Amino acid sequence: MIELPEAIVLSRQITSTLKGKVITDVIANYSPHKFAFFHHDAEGYSDLLVGKRIDRAEPNGGQVEIFAEGIRLVMSDGVNLRYIEPEGKLPPKHQLLIGFDDHSCIVASVQMYGMLWAFRAGELDHSYYRVAKEIYNALDERFNEDYFMNMIQREEMQKKSVKAMLATEQSIPGLGNGVLQDILYEAALHPRRKVSTLTEAEKHVLFRSLKTVLAEMVKQGGRNTEKDLFGKKGGYITQVSKNTLGRTCSRCGGVILKESYLGGTVYYCNGCQKE
């Protein structure tokens, strides 16, 4: 799943790899997927995109936004993006293929769900896209400690668990269930811990964990549970994830456990992340 670190890494890779290339072919909805969401009619994507030159890509929370001469192409968190070199092998199934004038292409494949939006700049008014534009992500310079403390003190936040506060309703765009695990592990906080019970010291630790863990994930090219534009796993080794389930915690000797919570799976150490 694309979350903020992967959105940043993918955007950098797309810019360096595709900048200046002209779109020559578009195949949309090649493999129909019930939860692949297009902007209006997928059949109109070819007319909209062919002939446009790629300028750059930017992260938008947990989305990747590609800019191409007044056209925007947005891939959301549930989309796998791959660059295919000229004469490279295409995957058997995909929901969007964008071909270029040098015969390379990018292929987007939806996992459980995903948005594949192509539109003229200013035309899309979807809340998921708009909110990610309007609210600072955790690596934005404007997302400082004062901003975080003001956010966490709001009445509606005080009623939530730390997981719900950080990773639901786009409180912090691009922060989802995946990156959340290591942030809370670093801060030694259980995902179910109520925000209202946090001490001032714990709030400061949580802020620092947000910044440092996300920055390290980006520095390492994303998490080792995800792949980049070229199909390579990220270099950041997750501390608590499906890959470490059942292992001994290197910090306290506890065990990494998992449980279902708020519509997803949370991983945590039963020793140093007490509820």
- Residue-wise pLDDT tens digits, 183-219: 999 999 999 999 999 999 999 999 999 999 999 999 9
201 and 174 in a common domain: yes
Q: What's the CATH number where 31 sits?
A: 3.20.190.10
- Write out the residue range of the structural domain in which residue 201 sits: 145-269
CA distances from 57 to 66, 108, 136, 166 (A): 4, 15, 18, 25
| Helix H or strand E segment including 117 | strand 114-120
The tokens for 63 are 């989305």
68 and 126 in a common domain: yes
162 and 65 in a common domain: no
Q: Which of 139, 165, 138 is nearest to 152 (CA)?
A: 165
169 and 130 in a common domain: no
| Structure confidence at residue 130 as a pLDDT band (50, 70, 90) | very high
b/e 160-178 (16+ beta carbons within 10 angstroms → b): bbbbbbbbbebbbbbbbbb
166 and 111 in a common domain: no
- Give me the mean pLDDT over the 219-232 stretch: 96
Query: Is 274 inside any structural domain?
Result: no
Q: Which residues pair with 36 in a beta bridge?
A: 114
86 CB burial (10 A radius; 0-12, 13-18, 19+)? exposed
Overall number of domains in the chain: 2
Query: Is 275 inside any structural domain?
Result: no
Mean model confidence pLDDT for the chain: 95
pTM metric for this prediction? 0.95
| Structure confidence at residue 169 as a pLDDT band (50, 70, 90) | confident
113 and 81 in a common domain: yes
Residues in the chain: 275
Looking only at the bridges linking them, the beta strands covering 114-120 and 36-38 are: parallel
